[in-house]
Amino acid sequence: MPGAGELSLLVNPEAADAQAGPGFLTRCFATRWTDVMYRWYLRRSFAGEAPDRLILTEAGRAVAGCGLVYRLLRTPEGAVEPVSVVVAACTLPSARGRGCYARVLQAAIDRSARRGCTALLGFVTADNATGRGLRRLGAATIASAYIASGGRPGPASAARLRLEGARASDGWRARAAAHLRSDPLQAGFHYPDASAWRAQMLERPHPVQSLRIGATCRAIVECVGDTDRLQWLDGDPRERLAAIRAVAAHARRRGRRFFMYSTRPGDVAGARSLGLAVRPGYMMALALRTCDVPRVQAWATMSWHVQSGDRM
């Protein structure tokens, strides 16, 4: 039996749901987690790969933890790389400042290596402690942006595209995959089949809208609380900025906020021109074996197309 004050790291304990379920996450993040959210983000398999839950306990009580979900990346050359993604890494307020995060992160690295991953990924804002920890360990940094409703609307002269509801089909994924393979070549998340893409983009924990925008664009928006999250957008690059503007305006007309995530530099510049707020961040990738370090470090030089729905 560990003594009082001794920390123990557990991997997939039987009591994970009871020890570190929605109530625990709500206390850590100070935002409400429901059972549906918990099971979607932390208990859902992807393409047959079950997630892991790492929990740090003290005297039998959870004080910190994270989830690991297993995904696939595709490089511009067509190579498919297995990766892990850190999800919901957190520490109880009463346990902060004691090195709990470092213990959990190291356990996540070790577990990901055992699962055969090329790299461990973390999606962070530029000022995030998780990002600083991964950077110290040598993670590659891929610039990204968290884009949200700003204080002013976009210019009246911006192109306006028609937006209408639509039924998402498997053809949406196939067309988007073809776009990623076209010039310029881009890296991104890989979905081995239509069911994996649907499970990630359409079968989400909150209500989802699928939209047609303009002549070429297709979008998937998840309605989370008072915010419309643009989880996925595909179409002709020439219509992309106008499509983002259309989705943001659609949210504003309904009294809702707007959010999207992007690794595309053009989205960042365009979002600012539309009056949207941009918070810089990184997609961080830590190689898990010495032999993989040069390959993973090279990811920082690639052009990436990663969207909000890809991340988690």
The CATH number of the domain covering residues in 147-279: 3.40.630.30
What is the per-residue pLDDT for 157? Answer: 42
What residue segments make up the domains of the chain, in order of their start?
Answer: 7-144+283-311, 147-279
* Confidence at residue 4, expressed as pLDDT on a 0 to 100 scale: 52
Question: What proportion of the chain, given as a percentage, has pLDDT over 90?
Answer: 83
Three-state secondary structure readout of the chain: CCCCCCEEEEECCCCHHHHHCHHHHHHHHCCCCCHHHHHHHHCCCECCECCEEEEEEECCEEEEEEEEEEEEEECCCCCEEEEEEEEEEEECHHHCCCCHHHHHHHHHHHHHHHCCCCEEEEEEECCCHHHHHHHHCCCEEEEEEEEECCCCCCCCCCCCCCEEECCCCHHHHHHHHHHHCCCCCCEEECCCCHHHHHHHHCCCCCCEEEEEECCCEEEEEEEECCEEEEEEEECCHHHHHHHHHHHHHHHHHCCCEEEEEECCHHHHHHHHHCCCEEEEEEEEEEECCHHHHHHHHHHHHCCECCEHHHHC
Q: What is the pTM of this model?
A: 0.92
- Position 150 scores a pLDDT of 75
Per CATH, which fold does 7-144+283-311 belong to?
Aminopeptidase (3.40.630)
Residue 289 confidence (pLDDT): 96
Contact 100, 91 (CB under 8 A): yes
Q: What is the pLDDT of residue 1?
A: 38
| Spans in the chain with pLDDT lower than 50 | 1-3, 156-158
Distance between CA atoms of residues 89 and 120, nearest Å? 13
Asked if 7-144+283-311 and 147-279 have one fold, the answer is yes
